[in-house]
A and B are shown apart, each in its own frame.
Chain A
């Protein structure tokens, strides 16, 4: 077995890391990926995990809930260990999120370690894994810069803190970082695939941002009207009711039939704030929610049928988790991954090509 997963709910970070090490047995992992509740202190859990896996590259982050094969958890730490039969090489480092330009230096250094330049990295051979400080607000600009520099696919998530929205952390090799991303170039031994799933359909109505403040993720006007008014009209409700429809009716940037979801967060005055940036002049489709369980099962079945999945890393939006919990479906969602070695977490944003919301982005290692 070249991939194994483990969980611990021991509140002491060193005891939790030891329990993970014991569960993972004799595996000699090249890479250990872990996701830990914010109930663990950042310095303690990062140091404990590196202490338990001193010969591995150890990457992780804080969460808003953890995912492991068969279950959605809280107040736990989950880990996936991958040996050389799954990951041939991993090159990882931090990106300071003070400016998108810091991505250049990190990516160039990591690509060089892989014997390449960023643009010459073969997308069929390498995949990028990224974890952001989920309160940095820097995901869009950093993902865009990385996308400028390389053609490899980059997937990941924004760290959480169990809905406290106070402090989120990323972890690399025993240290904890804020206002930072951890970026890794992975060279899987076998084939891999990206799964992106969101449970929405288009209502066929367009909202075009005509006045925005991208830095604060604020839309001031849609279609030349106050943003809150235009949004409420589009979904056929009063302005005072609009915010209660945010979860079921976000908007999507349509790449063909594929929405890149932008989730409204709050209304202030007539402006609508989003969980990610919205660009002026680019049409957005008004979306309506569908069934997360059915849609996720369908895509997993399709992918598994095409080529069986050996292991899965799931970056699942906290808004999806909240909807699943609201509808009593969180246990059912966890069970979708029962037969697949899986770890993941409830994120404050998902990464795939760019920064997105209300989506699950998954990295699948194939058999």
Chain B
């Protein structure tokens, strides 16, 4: 399976930014500083369970609910 990581990252940024472009950009940088480089993942990226787990953990820390 592929593409789940990009979907999760996109959903996290969308929920956090609520349509604000500047908050979306800042959230991408926050993810990068936490070790998640959003630009590395595409719809073809493998569903690496370790990366998915990290994103779920970060979402939890941010108070955001994501569905795998």
Residues of A in contact with B (beta carbons under 8 Å apart): 119, 123, 140, 144-145, 147-149, 151, 153, 253, 255, 260, 279-283, 353-354
Determine the chain B residues whose CB is within 8 A of the CB of A148 once the complex forms: 30, 61-63
User: In the complex, which residue of chain B has the Cβ closest to the Cβ of A151?
Assistant: B23
Q: B residues touching A (Cβ–Cβ < 8 Å)?
A: 16, 20, 22-23, 26, 28-30, 32-35, 37, 40, 61-63
A255, B23: Cβ atoms under 8 Å? no
Task: Please indicate which of the listed interface residues B16, B20, B22, B32 has the most CB atoms of chain A within 10 Å of its own CB.
Answer: B32
In the assembled complex, the CB of A196 is this many whole angstroms from the nearest CB of chain B, namely: 11
Contact B33 A283 (CB under 8 A): no
Distance of A345 from chain B, by nearest CB (Å): 24
**A123 and B29 within 8 A (CB):** no
Shortest 5 CB-CB contacts between residues of A and residues of B = A279-B35, A354-B33, A255-B29, A148-B61, A148-B62
Choose one: B16, B20, B33; the contact of A353 (CB below 8 Å): B33
Interface of chain B: mostly helix, strand, loop or mixed: helix
What is the distance, in angstroms, from B31's C-beta to the closest C-beta of chain A?
Answer: 10
The distance in angstroms between the C-alpha atoms of A255 and B38, with both chains bound, is 10
Q: Within the complex, what minimum Cβ distance (angstroms) separates B14 from chain A?
A: 14
Shortest Cβ distance from residue B28 to the other chain A in the assembled complex, whole angstroms:
7
Determine the chain A residues whose CB is within 8 A of the CB of B33 once the complex forms: 140, 144, 147, 253, 260, 279, 353-354
With contacts A123-B22, A123-B23 taken as known, whether A255 is within 8 angstroms of B35 at the C-beta atoms is no
Q: How far is the CA of A366 from the CA of B42 in the complex (A)?
A: 40
